[in-house]
Amino acid sequence: MTGAPTGAGAPPGPLLSMAGIRKEFPGMVALDDVSLDVREGRVHALMGENGAGKSTLMKVLSGVHPAGTYTGDILLDGEPCAFGGVVDSERAGIAIIHQELALIPQLSIAENVLLGHEATRFGVLDRDANHARARELLLRVGLDENPDVPVSALGIGAQQLVEIAKALAKRVRLLILDEPTSALNEAESRRLLDLLRELRDQGVTCILISHKLGEVVSVSDEITILRDGRTIETLVVERGADGTPSVDEDRIIRGMVGRSLDRLYPEPAGEVGPVRFEVRDWTVDHPTQPGRRMVDGVDIDLRSGEIVGLAGLMGAGRTEFAMSLFGRSYGRYVRGTLFKDGEVLPVPDVAAAVRGGLAYVPEDRKTLGLLLDEDIRHNTTLAGLHRVSRRGVIDQARETVEARRMSDGLHVRGNVAAGTVRTLSGGNQQKVVLAKWMFTRPELLILDEPTRGIDVGAKYEIHLIIRRLAAEGAAVLLISSELPEVLGMCDRVHTMCEGRLTGEVPAGEADQETLMRLMTRTGDRP
């Protein structure tokens, strides 16, 4: 299908036209005859499942994948463009903000914002001029911070605004944002979406990649949907007098996955069994600040076949608890005991935790979950090499067979023995992390934000995998910042605030208001 708008009233003469774009990687075609037209002064969303080609297309546009590595045409203001690199695209007024922010933590805000575009006087940096220019740009994006503050002192939401200010310093005309709210809380996300509207009103064109359908519908003027590396359609979002958009989330889902999703979460399967794991008085201090309590006296039971949710706001201590339980891989252990089937299970390190049947899918899959420059095969078997080895030597043929079996079972898109996991989409990378730990046959699976940055179709697949593991008898601890996911997937939910458990609610009695009230409960434990 072509990318011609299916709505009415789209005028000719787009700012950007991409036509017939084809991009290949070893063993796969990422983009196949993709077309995209973006009008000036609009917010244009780019939607699709993980692996649909969204980020690859934007890397082609921004020069990350330079001319010559793809086929097809790019026109800006009707003029052909062939960017040899990111510098060339920036000169043309195109800037991309990747999901992984490209800031230098040790430098100040001003130094980051104006890097490569500093004002000088007689060949020397003009500090006052740079400070004033940075201040002006920060005010434009709504960030009231001293430009001399180091970026490392900022939260992730403020850092996202610094990235946008950095793009504006380059006189950007076309701003590409790849999953800009994936790591932001609700208030930070609202502020960023308001900023996109303001930039649009100022004439800056934005291309938005996001898996948060509600945000896309609320802010976008047009929505182009990709599927399997091809353009499916472009929807024009019109708004009624009351602001109601003409496109809803279900319409986008149908375009993305080629069908309607009748249920966002799979039905529970199997019976909940007896308690397998018990955590008692688990207490952990900050890794570099002795006495600063991060996890304080946590008690929790986990049953065979049960999915237990752990909900809390940022900084509540959820990840710290999960990582410290998984072989004390976070913080300074103070006290606490883990029991398995009523017997003490020592977990002094990660190896002992794995031997004891624990597995941990981390929040940051790229840093903590994968070896990005290795293939799917090696990543899949990494935590269970003894199962594909003979006398300490890896049997590569057996490793390939096992990796292919795991990949096929999880519908991973990619050649298990060719290329690197770095080139996979976020959803496929997450499936590889899951495959790695499923390969160890875990009895307790700890999942930390397992669907962050994942599209709705891939989310459903991962939820099915989690349900299947529980049905096979594993105990599952699910940490998520998305309360609908916690409510839709878990049999019961614990809430956490300031390192302490603050409540426990059966799934049938839980709602978002109840959980939020418990998540903000401070003081003594109930």
Residue-range domain boundaries for the chain: 1-93+173-259, 103-170, 275-357+442-519, 375-440
Query: Could you give the percent of the chain with pLDDT greater than 90?
Result: 41
- Average pLDDT (474-487) is 89
Q: Strand 307-311 and strand 293-303: pairing? A: unpaired
Q: How far apart (Å, rounded) are the C-alpha atoms in residues 14 and 491? A: 50
12 — pLDDT class (breaks 50, 70, 90): very low
Q: Tell me the average pLDDT across 84-104.
A: 87
* Maximum C-alpha span of the chain: 76
- What sign results for the dihedral spanned by CA atoms 487, 492, 496, 499? negative
Span 1-93+173-259 CATH architecture: 3-Layer(aba) Sandwich (3.40)
Environment class of residue 417 by beta-carbon count within 10 Å: exposed (0-12), middle (13-18) or buried (19+)? Answer: middle
Amino acid in position 307 = I
On the question of a common fold for 1-93+173-259 and 275-357+442-519, the answer reads yes
Measured between alpha carbons, how far is 366 from 490 in angstroms, rounded to an integer?
26
pLDDT at 281 over 70: yes
Q: What is the mean pLDDT of the chain?
A: 87
Q: Which CATH class is domain 275-357+442-519?
A: alpha beta
Tell me whether residue 348 is exposed, middle or buried, using C-beta atoms within 10 angstroms of its C-beta: 0 to 12, 13 to 18, 19 or more: exposed
Determine the 3-state secondary structure of 125 from DSSP. strand
Q: Would you state the structure tokens that stand for residue 373, as one six-digit string?
A: 């420059």
- What is the rounded radius of gyration, in angstroms, for the C-alpha atoms of the chain? 24
Asked if residue 494 lies in contact with residue 507, where contact means CB atoms within 8 angstroms, the answer is no
Contact 223, 38 (CB under 8 A): no
Residue 310 makes CB contacts below 8 A (sequence gap 6+) with 318, 321, 322, 477, 478, 479, 493, 494, 495, 496
Per-residue pLDDT tens digits for 406-420? 888 878 877 887 778
Residue 8 has pLDDT above 60, yes or no: no
- Under a CB-based contact definition with an 8 Å cutoff, are residues 110 and 134 in contact? yes
CA distance 70 to 295: 50
Q: The pTM is what?
A: 0.64
Among candidate residues 432, 445, 507, the one with its CA nearest the CA of residue 472: 445
